[in-house]
Amino acid sequence: NAGVMQNPRHLVRRRGQEARLRCSPMKGHSHVYWYRQLPEEGLKFMVYLQKENIIDESGMPKERFSAEFPKEGPSILRIQQVVRGDSAAYFCASSPLDRVVTEAFFGQGTRLTVV
Amino acid sequence: GENVEQHPSTLSVQEGDSAVIKCTYSDSASNYFPWYKQELGKRPQLIIDIRSNVGEKKDQRIAVTLNKTAKHFSLHITETQPEDSAVYFCAASPSNTGKLIFGQGTTLQVKP
């Protein structure tokens, strides 16, 4: 059973470009969560999605950031017009449908560097 | 919304000693409290968790206690080893949301 898969592992973007981060949850998991970890800081909740639905986006910046989890395919976190302050590790976690409050399995993360 | 405070931010102990990390939370409706260990450049990994209907849970050298009245929970590591050195994060999950609100992290250094 493959774990949560994130790609790419490392992403370098110039200021103003777009960044697309992908997350494939564990098999059988239909809840996906995105977290951001700034250098030497804790993890901050960004968004919670189920298939085709955004459940909670209270942690998402109001501009430039969006997320989706389509019926088919991975969840995508999209950052438009990246700035240096977007440089961080972005982690995705998934959990199963039948137990909402249960352990979250984290992916390896995508380390975004904006130059 | 939920807010989690974690202390201390750094902790240095001698190998074999015990380490204690404490967290407080603000939302009395939170009902799930996991602890994660994160090594440099790696993903957070769950080491132990506790639910609001339990006061204490133990797994070998690791234990977690929860005081719902005071809204705080603690991680206890006994007989520490150098490989326990890492950053530890506590988290709280607001009732039935599934999302995790993390503390600021504790950098634990175990000196051989």
**Average pLDDT in the A13-24 region?**
98
pLDDT at residue A99 in the model = 54
B52 vs A35, residue with greater confidence: A35
Paired tokens of A115: 């130059």
Contact B97 A95 (CB under 8 A): no
B98 vs B19, residue with greater confidence: B19
Residue B100 with chain A: CB contacts under 8 Å: 33, 35, 43, 45, 93, 104
Closest residue of chain B to A97, computed from CA coordinates: B98
pLDDT at residue B21 in the model = 98
Contact A42 B93 (CB under 8 A): no
**Average pLDDT in the A12-37 region?**
94
* pLDDT tens track for A70-107: 999 999 999 999 999 999 999 999 987 655 566 778 99
Position B60 pLDDT exceeds 60: yes
A41 contact B CB<8A: yes
Contact A100 B96 (CB under 8 A): yes
B105 vs B98, residue with greater confidence: B105
User: How many Å lie between the alpha carbon of A103 and the closest alpha carbon of chain B?
Assistant: 7
Contact B1 A35 (CB under 8 A): no
Closest residue of chain B to A6, computed from CA coordinates: B43
Block residue for tokens 């326990």: B84
Cα separation, B68 vs B29, whole angstroms: 10
pLDDT at residue B110 in the model = 97
Position B83 pLDDT exceeds 70: yes
A35 contact B CB<8A: yes
User: How many Å lie between the alpha carbon of B16 and the closest alpha carbon of chain A?
Assistant: 27
Nearest-by-Cβ selection for B98 from A100, A105, A106: A100
Position A27 pLDDT exceeds 90: no
| HSE value, Cβ hemisphere, 13 Å, CA-based, for A62 | 0
Q: Place B23 in a pLDDT band, splitting at 50, 70 and 90.
A: very high
Neighbours of B107 (CB within 10 A): 15
Residue length of chain A: 115
pLDDT at residue A102 in the model = 66
pLDDT at residue A100 in the model = 53
Position B15 pLDDT exceeds 80: yes
Contact A104 B98 (CB under 8 A): yes
pLDDT at residue B98 in the model = 80
* pLDDT tens track for A35-74: 999 988 889 999 999 988 999 999 999 999 999 999 999 9
Q: DSSP assignment, residue B93?
A: B
Cα separation, A79 vs B108, whole angstroms: 33
Chain A contact probe: residue of B93, B97, B99 with most A CBs at under 10 A: B99
